Structure 1
Amino acid sequence: MAQLVKLSDYVSRYEIDIYRYPSRYVRLKRERWERVRQDWETRKKGFQDLPLWHSYEDNSESFIQKSLRKLPWKKSEIQEEVELPTRTEITHHSLEKLKQSFREELFQFQLNWASSTISEKSHVKRSYYYDKFLYYLLQNLPDTFFVFYEPVFFMKKAPVDLDVIILTPTELWLIKPLSGNDHTIYQTETDRFWKKSENGVEERLLNPFVTLKRMKTVVETILTENHITLPVKMAVVAKDSFIDVPPVSKRVNLVDKRQIENFKKLLLKNQTPIKHQQLKVAETLLAHSLTISENRLQEEIDEEQREETDSRIEND
């Protein structure tokens, strides 16, 4: 699964140390999967009483917490480590269903890492938990890919909303996603506007090329100012619908549901290990992004106070 490095203007775990957290995520994911798989296989064989992780649902202390207690890590590091999902159902009848459940939990885990640290937290829009394109990217791209999803960057001290950035080990992709379904068709209306048709209803939208050009200007300006060189590519992606637009520029890939699998294969050609240059680019982009968060401890105190107030009102 690709790593969600930045989500909107939320505080990200990767902002703390981009050189440490990518490898930590990969290690935690691998260790977590091995233990879930082993537990599932043991239960399938009929052994119900496991000494270390016998119940995900009912035991208040997860198997990760139990195992990490014995390791010589600092308390703050343990707090970070145990945030991997711990409620995977292991009653699945097939290994494939277990894998799918595990991937879904990892998606929730990634949203958590992309919106909180040990001391800070951002409020996540509920729609992100059901965002099909975000889910698709994280599920279908490898761990070595970094995703910036709807980040807010600073351009001459002014915040600029972008769409999607995929940072691979060797190149950077700027993506303009288009929503829709089997009945959605995108067509050119004018040089500046496209037309979206769906079930007889038409809607005008800004030409995605304009959006991509602005994104390219912002990103390349940041890279140039920091003396970083990396190939930048662009694509308009309508994963579930159709784009009926003649190719205008060889610099922009037009990808609809007919080409999405080929586009994924194109991206997956870059399955090389994480590179230092890639980490440097991620660090630079994060340094130029907007973050809005609040103190996590204070939020928990406020929540407790609200619960106490509600309790007094109910008792009165």
Structure 2
Amino acid sequence: MAQLVKLADYVTRYEIDIYRYPSRYVRLKKERWQRIKADWEATRREGEGPLFQHYEEKGTWKKARMLLAKNWKKKTQEEMDLPSNWELRHQSVDALREQFVKELLSFQLNWASSTVSEISAIAPVHRNDPLLNWFLTSFPDTFFLFYEPVLMAGQAPVECDTLLLTPNELWVLHVLPGDGTTIYSSQGTRYWEKREGESRETLLHPSVSIRRTVTVLQQILQGSGIKLKTAVLCPDGYIDTGKNNRLEFYDKRSMSLFQNSLRKMTTPIKADQLKAAEQLLDAGLTVSENRMDAEPENGVDSEEEFR
């Protein structure tokens, strides 16, 4: 699952230390899945008894028992409740994995909107955003997502296209909405037409927004060595236009090609990637408030568990 490094103009954990939080996220994700999977296997193996009894057994379950004891002892801000015995006994491993993904999405939203001292109000549109969920679940942990970021160009904030920072390159992605039958077609070099049934709408060519984003990025990423790539995505519609040497187009028919071509990348996180992420975070607009004012009873930050 890709890492949500920046969401709109929200405060983010990654601003604290971009060199620490990516590896921390991967570790927490791995530990959480191992813990849930061990619980699930224990209930399958031992039947109806209380969950702690399953871990009193020596041998195979000793390591899992120690992990559970350690994690349950610390009630922290990032902890989430374990599934109940009944939930574990009556779920398949696929259902368990689906539940785990939902937990991860919630956890990422938490990290992308709060730090120990600051918090940003999450807009309802971002809490159940299918496109955001698609980006996060479609790519590996080594990819950093800047979703609808607001970057500073000098003293002016600029709403930019979504950025996907891989270990090798930075994708600038302009996403077009659709209802499953939407068709976009070119109307010259500056305008496109959007068709939905009998409806017709003229809109600016996606390249206008992409060029604006690229201009801002070139100022921010001077000397970074990061290669910029650009694409227009229309996951729920069709793009009916000719080829463009500067832009790549992916619509409902070819989104899987875009996804699969990037998922083949097995390169680990690179130093240049982290440096570029740091530069983008430094240039990002952040709107937040003091967490103690918003949530006066919150506890302290912890590395142990998801909330």
TM-score range, shorter chain: 0.7 to 0.9
Equivalent runs, 1:246-257 vs 2, <5 Å: 246-247=242-243, 249-257=244-252
**In structure 2, what is the equivalent of residue 115 of structure 1?**
113
Q: How many residues align?
A: 284
Rounded to whole Å, the distance in 1 between the matches of 2:218 and 2:68 is: 43
2:70 matched to 1:67?
yes
Larger RCO: 1 or 2 (CA < 8 Å, sep 6+): 2
Contact 2:35 2:67 in 1 (8 A): no
User: Does 1:234 find its partner at 2:230?
Assistant: yes
Task: Report the alpha carbon displacement of residue 163 of structure 1 after superposing the two structures with TM.
Answer: 1.9
2:107 match: secondary structure = helix
Cα deviations by residue, 1:142-184 (Å, 9 ceiling, x for unpaired): 0000000011111021100012100000110000011113211
Equivalent in the alignment of 2:279 = 284
The residue correspondences of 1:137-216 to structure 2 (distance < 5 A) are 137-216=135-214
Q: CA deviation at 1:111?
A: 0.5
Q: What is the TM-score with the length of structure 2 in the denominator? A: 0.86
Alpha carbons of structure 1 residues 206 and 84: separation in structure 2 relative to 1, 3 Å: farther
Structure 2 CA distance, aligned partners of 1:92 and 1:275? 42
Deviation at 1:280, TM superposition (A): 0.6
Show CA shifts across 1:212-244 (max 9, x none): 1111111111111xx211110000000121111
**Shift in Å, 1:51:** 2.0
More off after superposition, 43-52 vs 271-280 = 43-52
Q: Residues 43 and 54 of structure 2 are in contact (CA less than 8 Å); yes or no, is this contact kept in structure 1?
A: no
What letter corresponds to residue 49 of structure 2 in structure 1?
A: Q
Counterpart in the other structure of 1:23 = 23
Q: Distance in 2 between matches of 1:153 and 1:172?
A: 15
Pairing 1:270–2:273 present: no
Whole-angstrom CA distance in 2 between matches of 1:120 and 1:53 = 40
TM-score (ref. length: structure 1): 0.84
Work out whether residues 85 and 109 of structure 1, in 8 Å CA contact, stay in contact via their aligned partners in 2.
no
How far residue 302 of structure 1 moved from its aligned partner, in angstroms, is 10
| Helix, strand or coil at the partner of 2:146 | strand
1:36 is matched with: 36
Give the corresponding residue for 2:305: none
Tell me the distance in 1 between the aligned counterparts of 2:291 and 2:67. Answer: 23
Change (3 A) 1:217 1:51: same
1:293 lines up with 2:296 in the alignment? no
Write the deviation string for residues 64-115 of structure 1: whole angstroms up to 9, x where unpaired. 89624769xxxxxx85xx5154355535532111111110111111011000
Answer yes or no: is the 8 Å Cα contact 2:173–2:232 preserved in 1: yes
Please list every run of 5 or more consecutive structure 2 residues that lacks an aligned counterpart in the other structure.
56-65, 299-307
The RMSD of aligned alpha carbons is 2.4
Q: Is the 8 A contact 1:92 1:98 kept in 2?
A: no
Distance apart, 1:266 and its partner CA: 1.7
Which segments of 5 or more consecutive residues in structure 1 lack a partner in the other structure?
A: 55-62, 72-77, 304-316
Distance change (3 Å), C-alpha of 1:30 and 1:301:
closer
The one-letter amino acid of 2:276's match is V
Amino acid at match of 2:204: L
Counterpart Cα distance in 1 of 2:18 and 2:142 = 13
The share of aligned pairs that are identical, in percent, is 46
Q: Distance in 1 between matches of 2:154 and 2:169?
A: 25
For residue 244 of structure 1, the aligned residue among 240, 243, 252 is: 240
